[in-house]
């Protein structure tokens, strides 16, 4: 007869096209016998009817623990082999003595562990029913009532959605019952099935009518034990671990045999043998007819489960310098197959396994090496959140208590701001304000979301432009910043194209599908994009930056892929003057020849000029010479460690979200009004809302430096000072010596504009005074104007005046003649 | 000195199993023995002795570069075997071995799993022929006992200890030698080349992954047990370890029963490429179980390698004649550079330059020299040959359009084979990289060519190479002396450009250079070699007084001409001053030294300006 248990895994796993295969196999005489000899046995529960499994479910609705088929968990290995032992009896002899737990109670544990099934189950059920985490902010728990037992709500969700998987955060288990957690970590292979049992009992008690595809499986994640692939060692074998890494390769689907189906060639008796530790014990004798070696394996009636090999490489942040990254093999089973793609950054929770190299009977000695892999229980993508939602700073950088203490101590020092700024790129001399600006850029402002009111996100990132003479270590500063931040990108304007900065579509060589390859700006989302030789960039490339630098998004419409990517990146750019040497007689715009639309998007524009004064030279020389002879220790005494600085920034960025307090907002308003006042006296606008936003960002960043949750007046003061300092450098009108913001916002200083108008008026007056002459010689007019005006008039100015008059529709210029209209 | 020590230490200890100290003792013992005078030269070297002369399971050494680091592996540190006839259980040690004894009881509770890591090591890339030859000869001075003498295995430990005390020179009786006479040395010198020609045929399907094309020599899989964190990629090491060439390793790798794959897919996971990379035949890529590794500061066989009292004595004795050797070397280089004394001076400084520290991202001490105005027609090639004769490690990269477009300079991770595919920029520290830009012709660089040029630029400016890990790049700091020869100003950045001004124009360049080279005695050349390696290792400092003077000087210079003297110039002059002092064997900067540095820098600058105006006049 055919022995198939209704609840066996075969039901759900054998593919539906088996029926056609069986038809083909109908030619096989041995199988034919099945039909002819035992026709009456072919009933609804027979595997031969698998063509319509779903209809069967509808026909006989199953519910309750007994009715729902259990699904094998290849991720846990063969669990049914674990016998229970009495603690007080001799372990080896008790091997086979499986007594019922009710009879022996507490003393009974699973062999080789200290796990008692009954207690364990009870504890876990209690955990599920009682665990509350009011402070939870995980995205999985979105929409759940945090003051109700968390996992009961999840069970309810399962009953509604019908996805029989319960993810359990191990840190929750730990905070609830440390002993249970320890058992879970140490004996996952035994404890997780117990959890499964517990959760199913509970579930079907609560929701007796719900129908699930198979029984609920518990998937623990976030085991705290291990975080780094490098720290895996032989002690972790067969324990539950969580590591992070990046997927580099995934294999094709591998069907792995779970149950082998044997049939006797003589009497057609069939039997199933479960795979035990990768082996199948072939039955030597047929139980029915006692013929020896008559059983043959029937492949298409054996049960297979899906399996996939995934190679994971440790993430670059976890590695010590100078070594190559390690890789680990991970096996995903059943529905976890194809959940991840190469390039994904994931957290894996699984059981670490070491398998000895297969012993070859033909060889006397074997390699003494084990093969290691991880049977995955739970995947969690860490970069999933990057494309949507707010800053869920994925890498959840963990700080130890002591580290946090050190950082806080540092933050409480009154001169922390100066300390940090001097720790920034110590090899670069002076430029204190520039370093301070970059420091504030590294911290960034507070992210604000007004999308509900339809105004979208406000930019929190500070953009900085450095311009100045070549050889003033601009590139070095950029290189330093790029090395300091975890998500930094470094590109050179000369070598990058628009697509290199944004994104391009290419055909994947393996899958032949079109894929979007992201460029530097997208890659540095939440980081800093350093662009060297900003001025050498082509116009089309630069135009891309307009959107990125204010809206912080990138819109792409290429090859049928239309999307908007986040590019919440700070831009740190460096530009050289057009004439290779900075011309102090010209404005910033004239010197670097960048469109003012782009320049106005920079919060701070610094000039790095060679000051050419003796005291400076002396200090510079001292600094450089010291650089060359000071020993390593001396340097360390003087400056903060780069690692501390890194951690400080990471900590502040993740945990500190300062808000403006009343005084500070008042101070900001005053500052803004003052800035506007300066200009209004001379009849020009000297500040725009953009400058106010910059001030707010800078003040917030400064509060972050202090680890303060409130933006206070001192923050505003520093923001004002820095902003003024930068303006003084970059927006000073070389003709008048006044600071004039319109140089940056409109590309022309107010005085220059005024003069242009004056010239135009003078010209108009002159033409009018000449009376009605419809046409004039160009050169003649120019000479006349020069003769009349007391100020020197250049040809450029004259042409500009003509253009202005032409715009007024007063005259037209055609070739060398000027006609009045 | 042989494997049996390990056995004697391991086995009794393994049985007690409670005493892990034996492992430390083994290492201690070997380190102690190797510290003894000259003892390290008794150990045969994989670099010199062909593999088939070496006895399996014997102690050998290997001078190499860590090219790749494979994943850590777990092995049976202690395991139990069951004798099928007597049913007796025996505990055995699996450390320092690739293969277990027969009849392993996999379910034994006494099995101890331990961790080790495999490094893929290749001989130091670009090692000059002279360095190889000299190190071979010095090793051959004390004959390596490579013969297989079975009776020795049974000797007791005490006897062997005796043996060492009484025969410190290890002058073996003729019968223990493979060839038994002086000729054997000669034959063995030839042997490496003849040996490598044979595998080079088979290695067509087995890429041994040498960084530089045309390299030869044994590659080795080194199993590392201790101090995993202390090793870094591209370290140069002298490894002492136990050689394992068990043919089983090869068989295990190749034997595949496809029917078993379905049930045990673990093995089908490894692609054939990966298997080939990680389990190459042991006859081609031997395994070496590391006992002890010494990081090499240099690979110049003429210098004592270990930083011991020996070395300091050697240094102080050499310091005396440093100045005179420098003068001779300078004269020699002047001849080579066609009578240009200034260029010779700069070349000398370049040859002893060294990145001695890094300040955040800035490498200090690098001194990339651009020798412009080089005569064409194989002059650069000959110049390289002369440089190669002087430095222990060098490589000439002819920057023709074709090589730039086709050559792989930056190492790249191959995820299919799971290994780091090497590139020409994976070089040991202090290697002289000779970039020959005179070979560059007109044409277009394709994208890989542009990448290569960028990589070279990064190497020169920041002394780092960004290895390509496909999903991300990883930065590896390096310390490579780059010399660029070009016709005009190089397209690559450089610390210092010197236009060559030949004083003589020999009618036959080839002949001229050959004669100069031939005129030097080997002893003379050897002195130069020692000089260059030594000058680079000297310490250096600047006193406060001189610091002050330098600062004053800089301020004055800026006063005179603020446009042309920048911070960059001060950077360069400080490096020049440092190298100039070191080249004279002075470990502190004197005022004189500073003035000299200033002087030659001025000469150089006037020359480049002259060149500029000359070029400016040309249309």
Please report residues of B whose CB lies closer than 8 A to that of A228: none
Which of A366, A483, A629 lies nearest to residue B541, judging by beta carbons? A629
Q: Rounded distance, CA A41 to CA A44, Å? A: 9
Q: Which residue has the higher pLDDT, B46 or A319?
A: B46
Hey, are the CB atoms on A627 and B567 less than 8 Å from each other?
A: no
Pick from A256, A324, A343, A616 the residue to mutate for testing the B interface (most B CBs within 10 Å): A324
What pLDDT does A733 receive?
63
Instruction: Convert the pLDDT of each residue in B130-166 to its tens digit.
Output: 888 887 776 654 444 444 333 333 333 333 333 333 3
* Owner of token pair 């198979």: A214
- What lies within 8 Å, CB to CB, of B407 at 6+ separation is B213, B397, B424, B452
Q: Rounded distance, CA A623 to CA B549, Å? A: 14
Pick from B91, B118, B359, B587 the residue to mutate for testing the A interface (most A CBs within 10 Å): B359
Please report residues of B whose CB lies closer than 8 A to that of A344: none
Q: Rounded distance, CA B179 to CA B62, Å? A: 23
Q: Rounded distance, CA B612 to CA B605, Å? A: 10
- Three-state secondary structure call for residue A377: strand
In angstroms, how far is CA B205 from the centroid of its own chain?
26
Q: Rounded distance, CA B587 to CA B537, Å? A: 11
Instruction: Convert the pLDDT of each residue in B314-341 to its tens digit.
Output: 777 788 888 888 898 898 888 888 888 8
Q: Rounded distance, CA B608 to CA A475, Å? A: 25
What pLDDT does B350 receive?
92
B360 part of contact set with chain A, CB < 8 Å: yes
- Three-state secondary structure call for residue A307: strand
Q: In terms of C-beta density within 10 A (0-12 exposed, 13-18 middle, 19 or more buried), how is residue A113 classed?
A: middle
User: CB count, 10 Å around CB of B271?
Assistant: 15
User: CB count, 10 Å around CB of B413?
Assistant: 22
Pairing relationship of beta strands A464-468 and A604-608 according to DSSP bridges: parallel
Q: Which two tokens stand for residue B403?
A: 């090589």
B100 part of contact set with chain A, CB < 8 Å: yes
Nearest chain A residue to B262 by CA: give it.
Answer: A256
Q: Rounded distance, CA A628 to CA B358, Å? A: 10
Pairing relationship of beta strands A295-297 and A448-450 according to DSSP bridges: unpaired
Q: Which parts of A485-525 fold into alpha helices (H)?
A: 498-501, 520-523
B578 part of contact set with chain A, CB < 8 Å: yes
Please tell me what DSSP assigns to residue B122.
E
Residues belonging to chain A = 821
User: CB count, 10 Å around CB of B137?
Assistant: 13
CB A313 within 8 A of CB B71: no
What pLDDT does A610 receive?
67
- Three-state secondary structure call for residue A135: coil
Reference A519, options A495, A550, A496, A535; nearest CA is A496
Helices B544-560 and A614-629 cross at an angle (nearest 10°) of: 140
User: CB count, 10 Å around CB of A193?
Assistant: 21
Hey, are the CB atoms on A628 and B72 less than 8 Å from each other?
A: no
Pairing relationship of beta strands A345-356 and A369-381 according to DSSP bridges: antiparallel
Instruction: Convert the pLDDT of each residue in B348-364 to its tens digit.
Output: 999 988 888 877 677 88
Q: Which two tokens stand for residue A411?
A: 């933050």
Half-sphere exposure in the Cβ direction for A554 (13 Å, CA): 29
Q: How far is B246 from chain A (nearest CA, A)?
A: 10
Q: Which residues of A72-84 are buried (b: 16+ CB within 10 A; e: fewer)?
A: bbbbbbbeeebeb
Q: Which two tokens stand for residue A606?
A: 């610094």
CB A705 within 8 A of CB A420: yes
3-state helix, strand, coil in chain A (%, to 5): 45, 20, 35
- CA torsion, ordered B372, B373, B375, B376, to nearest 10 deg: 70
Q: How far is B415 from chain A (nearest CA, A)?
A: 7
Please report residues of B whose CB lies closer than 8 A to that of A92: none
Hey, are the CB atoms on A369 and B269 less than 8 Å from each other?
A: no
Q: In terms of C-beta density within 10 A (0-12 exposed, 13-18 middle, 19 or more buried), how is residue B242 classed?
A: buried
CB B255 within 8 A of CB B70: no
Count Cβ–Cβ pairs < 8 Å, chain A vs chain B.
192
Cα separations in angstroms, A10 against A276, A331, A370? 16, 21, 32
Strand partners for B220: B121
In angstroms, how far is CA B445 from the centroid of its own chain?
31
Which of A363, A429, A476 lies nearest to residue B248, judging by beta carbons? A363
Please tell me what DSSP assigns to residue A325.
P
User: CB count, 10 Å around CB of B70?
Assistant: 19
Q: Rounded distance, CA B550 to CA B552, Å? A: 5
- What lies within 8 Å, CB to CB, of A800 at 6+ separation is A756, A759, A760
Please report residues of B whose CB lies closer than 8 A to that of A431: none
Banded model confidence at residue B87, pLDDT cuts 50, 70, 90: confident
Q: Which two tokens stand for residue A111?
A: 């062999």
Helices B3-16 and B21-35 cross at an angle (nearest 10°) of: 160
Hey, are the CB atoms on A632 and B357 less than 8 Å from each other?
A: yes
Q: How high does pLDDT run on average in chain B?
A: 75
Query: Splitting chain A (821 residues) into consecutive groups of 10 residues, what average pLDDT does each group show?
Result: 37 36 38 36 39 37 56 61 44 39 53 76 85 65 69 83 82 84 84 86 82 81 74 82 83 81 83 74 79 81 84 77 83 84 81 71 62 85 48 49 76 77 72 81 75 64 80 76 75 65 68 69 76 77 76 73 75 78 70 74 77 73 73 54 75 78 81 71 60 82 81 80 75 60 59 72 77 73 75 72 74 74 69
Cα separations in angstroms, B589 against A204, B355, B359, B570? 85, 18, 21, 15
CA angle A575/A577/A580 to nearest 5° reads 120
Q: Rounded distance, CA A535 to CA A493, Å? A: 7
Q: Rounded distance, CA B218 to CA B211, Å? A: 13
Which of A326, A342, A479 lies nearest to residue B361, judging by beta carbons? A479
B399 part of contact set with chain A, CB < 8 Å: no
Please tell me what DSSP assigns to residue B55.
P
Mean pLDDT for B583-597 is 85
Nearest chain A residue to B66 by CA: give it.
Answer: A323
What pLDDT does A283 receive?
79
In angstroms, how far is CA A256 from the centroid of its own chain?
34
B262 part of contact set with chain A, CB < 8 Å: yes
CA angle B602/B606/B611 to nearest 5° reads 145
Hey, are the CB atoms on A278 and B264 less than 8 Å from each other?
A: yes
3-state helix, strand, coil in chain B (%, to 5): 45, 20, 35
Cα separations in angstroms, A243 against A226, A346, A381, B443? 6, 8, 12, 49
B94 part of contact set with chain A, CB < 8 Å: yes
CB A596 within 8 A of CB A589: yes
Q: Which two tokens stand for residue B594?
A: 């500073």
Please report residues of A whose CB lies closer than 8 A to that of B264: 278, 358
Q: In terms of C-beta density within 10 A (0-12 exposed, 13-18 middle, 19 or more buried), how is residue A624 classed?
A: buried
SS3 track for A584-631:
CCCCHHHHHCCCHHHHCCCCEEEEECCCCCHHHHHHHHHHHHHHHHCC
Whether B454 shows a pLDDT value over 70: the answer reads yes
B588 part of contact set with chain A, CB < 8 Å: no
Hey, are the CB atoms on B74 and A427 less than 8 Å from each other?
A: no
Nearest chain A residue to B269 by CA: give it.
Answer: A309
Q: How far is A335 from chain B (nearest CA, A)?
A: 19
Strand partners for A526: none
Q: Which two tokens stand for residue A134?
A: 């009011």
Strands, E assignment, B469-542: 473-477, 481-485, 496-499
């Amino acid at each position: 007869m055919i022995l198939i248990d209704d609840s066996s895994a075969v039901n759900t796993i054998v593919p539906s096209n088996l029926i056609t295969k069986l038809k083909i196999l109908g030619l096989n005489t041995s199988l034919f016998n099945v039909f002819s000899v035992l026709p009456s046995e072919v009933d609804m529960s027979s595997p031969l009817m698998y063509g319509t499994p779903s209809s069967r479910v509808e026909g006989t609705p199953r519910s309750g623990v007994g009715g729902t088929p259990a699904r094998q968990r290849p991720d846990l290995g063969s669990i049914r082999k674990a016998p229970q032992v009495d603690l007080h009896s001799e372990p080896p002899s008790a091997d086979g003595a499986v007594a019922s737990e009710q009879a022996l109670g507490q003393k009974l544990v699973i062999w080789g562990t200290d796990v008692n099934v009954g207690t364990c189950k009870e504890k876990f059920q209690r955990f599920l029913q009682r665990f509350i985490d009011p402070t939870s902010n995980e995205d999985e728990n979105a929409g759940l009532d945090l003051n109700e037992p968390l996992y009961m709500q999840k069970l309810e969700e399962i009953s509604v959605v019908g996805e029989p998987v319960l993810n359990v955060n191990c840190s929750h288990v730990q905070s609830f019952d440390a002993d249970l957690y320890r058992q879970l970590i140490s004996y996952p292979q035994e404890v997780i099935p117990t959890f499964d049992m517990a959760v199913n009992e509970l579930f079907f008690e609560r929701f007796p009518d719900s129908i699930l595809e198979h029984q609920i499986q518990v998937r623990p994640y976030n085991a705290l034990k291990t975080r780094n692939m490098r720290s895996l060692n032989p002690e972790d074998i067969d324990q539950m671990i969580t590591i992070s890494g990046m997927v580099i390769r995934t294999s094709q689907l591998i069907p792995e045999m779970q149950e082998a189906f044997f049939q006797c060639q003589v009497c057609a008796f069939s039997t199933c043998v479960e795979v035990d530790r990768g082996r199948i014990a072939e039955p030597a004798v047929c139980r029915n007819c006692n013929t020896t070696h008559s059983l043959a394996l029937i492949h298409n009636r054996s049960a297979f489960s899906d399996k996939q090999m995934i190679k994971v490489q440790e993430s670059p942040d976890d590695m010590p310098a100078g070594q190559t990254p390690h890789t680990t093999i991970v096996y995903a089973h059943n529905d976890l197959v194809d959940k991840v793609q190469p390039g994904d950054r994931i957290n894996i929770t699984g059981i670490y396994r070491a398998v000895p190299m297969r012993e070859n009977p033909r060889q006397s000695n074997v390699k003494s090496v084990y093969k290691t892999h991880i049977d995955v229980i739970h995947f969690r993508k860490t970069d999933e959140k990057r494309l949507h939602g707010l800053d869920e700073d994925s890498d959840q950088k963990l700080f130890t208590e002591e580290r946090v203490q050190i950082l806080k101590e540092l933050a409480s020092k009154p001169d922390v701001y100066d300390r940090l700024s001097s720790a920034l790129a110590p090899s670069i001399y002076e430029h204190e304000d520039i370093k301070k600006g970059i420091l504030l850029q590294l911290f960034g402002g507070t992210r604000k979301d007004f999308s509900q009111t339809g105004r979208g996100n406000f930019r929190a990132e500070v953009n900085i432009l450095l311009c100045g003479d070549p050889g003033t270590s601009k590139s070095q500063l950029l290189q330093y910043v790029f090395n300091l931040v975890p998500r930094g990108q470094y590109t050179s304007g000369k070598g990058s194209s628009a697509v290199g900065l944004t994104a391009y579509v290419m055909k994947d060589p393996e899958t032949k599908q079109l894929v979007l390859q992201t460029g530097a700006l997208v890659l540095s989302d939440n980081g800093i994009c350093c662009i060297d030789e900003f001025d050498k960039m082509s116009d089309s490339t630069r135009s891309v930056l307009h959107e990125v630098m204010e809206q912080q998004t990138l819109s792409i419409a290429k090859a049928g892929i239309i999307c908007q990517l986040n590019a919440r990146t700070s831009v740190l750019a460096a530009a050289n003057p057009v004439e290779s040497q900075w011309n102090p007689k010209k404005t910033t715009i004239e010197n670097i020849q960048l469109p003012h639309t782009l320049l106005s998007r920079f919060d701070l524009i610094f000039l790095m000029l060679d000051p050419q004064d003796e005291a400076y030279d002396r200090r510079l020389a001292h600094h450089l010479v010291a650089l060359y002879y000071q020993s390593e220790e001396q340097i360390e005494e003087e400056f903060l460690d780069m690692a501390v600085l890194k951690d400080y920034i990471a900590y502040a960025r993740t945990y500190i979200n300062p808000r403006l307090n009343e005084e500070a907002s008042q101070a900001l308003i005053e500052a803004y009004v003052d800035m506007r006042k300066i200009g209004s006296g001379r009849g020009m606008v000297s500040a725009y809302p953009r400058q106010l936003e910059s001030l707010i960002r800078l003040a917030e960043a400064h509060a972050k430096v202090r680890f303060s949750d409130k933006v206070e007046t001192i923050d505003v003061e520093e923001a004002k000072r820095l902003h003024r300092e930068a303006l003084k450098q970059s927006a000073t009108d070389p003709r008048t010596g006044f600071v004039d913001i319109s140089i940056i916002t409109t590309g022309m200083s107010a005085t220059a504009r005024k003069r242009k108008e004056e010239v135009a008026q003078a010209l108009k007056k002159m033409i009018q005074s000449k009376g009605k002459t419809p046409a004039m010689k160009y050169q003649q007019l120019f000479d006349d104007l020069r003769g009349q005006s007391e100020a020197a008039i250049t040809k450029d100015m004259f042409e500009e005046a003509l253009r202005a008059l032409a715009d007024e529709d007063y005259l037209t210029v055609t070739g060398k003649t000027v006609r009045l209209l | 000195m042989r494997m049996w020590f390990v056995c004697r230490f391991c086995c009794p200890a393994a049985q007690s199993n409670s005493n892990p100290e034996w492992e430390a003792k083994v290492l201690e013992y070997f380190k102690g023995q190797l510290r003894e005078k000259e003892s390290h030269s008794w150990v045969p070297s994989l670099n010199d002795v062909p593999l088939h002369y070496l006895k399996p399971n014997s102690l050998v050494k290997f001078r190499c570069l860590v090219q790749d680091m494979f994943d850590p592996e777990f092995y049976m540190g202690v395991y139990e075997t069951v004798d099928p006839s007597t049913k007796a259980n025996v505990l055995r040690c699996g450390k320092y071995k690739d293969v277990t004894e027969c009849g392993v009881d996999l379910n034994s509770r006494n099995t101890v799993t331990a961790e080790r890591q495999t490094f893929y090591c290749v001989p130091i890339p670009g090692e000059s022929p002279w360095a190889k030859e000299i190190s071979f000869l010095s090793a051959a001075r004390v004959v390596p006992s490579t013969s297989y003498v079975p009776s020795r295995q049974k000797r007791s430990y005490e006897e062997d200890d005796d043996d060492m005390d009484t025969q410190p020179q290890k002058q073996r009786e003729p019968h223990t030698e493979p060839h038994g006479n002086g000729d054997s040395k000669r034959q063995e010198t030839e042997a490496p080349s003849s040996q490598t020609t044979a595998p080079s045929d088979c290695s067509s399907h087995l890429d041994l992954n040498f960084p530089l094309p045309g390299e030869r020599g044994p590659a080795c899989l080194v199993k590392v047990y201790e101090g995993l964190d202390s090793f870094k990629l591209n370290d140069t090491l002298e490894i002492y370890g136990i050689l394992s060439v068990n043919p089983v390793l090869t068989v295990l790798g190749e034997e595949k029963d496809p029917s078993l794959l379905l049930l045990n897919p673990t093995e089908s996971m490894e692609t054939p490429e990966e298997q080939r990379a990680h389990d190459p035949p042991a006859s081609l890529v031997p395994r070496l179980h590391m006992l002890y590794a010494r990081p090499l500061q240099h690979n110049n066989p003429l210098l004592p390698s270990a930083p011991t009292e020996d070395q300091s004595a050697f240094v102080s004795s050499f310091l005396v004649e440093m100045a005179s050797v420098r003068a001779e070397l300078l004269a020699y280089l002047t001849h080579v550079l066609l009578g240009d004394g200034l260029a010779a001076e700069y070349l000398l400084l370049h040859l002893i330059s060294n990145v001695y520290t890094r300040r955040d991202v800035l490498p200090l001490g690098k001194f990339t020299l651009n020798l412009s105005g080089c005569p064409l027609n194989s002059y650069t090639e000959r110049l390289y040959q002369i440089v190669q004769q002087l430095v222990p490690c060098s490589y000439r990269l002819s920057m023709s359009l074709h090589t730039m477009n086709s050559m792989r300079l930056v190492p790249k991770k191959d995820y299919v084979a799971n290994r780091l595919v090497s590139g020409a920029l994976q070089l040991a520290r202090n290697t002289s990289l000779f970039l020959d830009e005179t070979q560059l012709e007109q044409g277009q660089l394709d994208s890989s060519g542009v990448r290569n040029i960028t990589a070279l630029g990064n190497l020169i400016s920041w002394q780092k190479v960004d290895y390509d890990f496909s999903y991300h790049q990883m930065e590896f700091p390096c310390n490579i002396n780059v010399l660029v020869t070009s016709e005009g100003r190089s397209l690559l950045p450089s610390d210092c450009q010197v236009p060559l001004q030949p004083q003589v124009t020999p009618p036959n360049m080839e002949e001229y250079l050959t004669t100069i080279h031939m005129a030097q005695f080997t002893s003379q050349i050897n002195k130069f070699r020692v000089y260059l390696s030594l000058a680079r290792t000297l310490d250096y400092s600047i006193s406060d007084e001189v610091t002050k003077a330098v600062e004053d000087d800089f301020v004055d210079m800026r006063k005179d001409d603020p446009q042309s003297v920048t911070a960059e110039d001060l950077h360069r002059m400080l490096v020049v001053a440092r190298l100039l002092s070191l080249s004279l064997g002075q470990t502190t900067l004197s005022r004189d030294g500073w003035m000299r540095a200033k002087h030659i820098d001025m000469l150089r600058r006037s020359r480049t300006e002259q060149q500029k105006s000359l070029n400016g006049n040309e249309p």
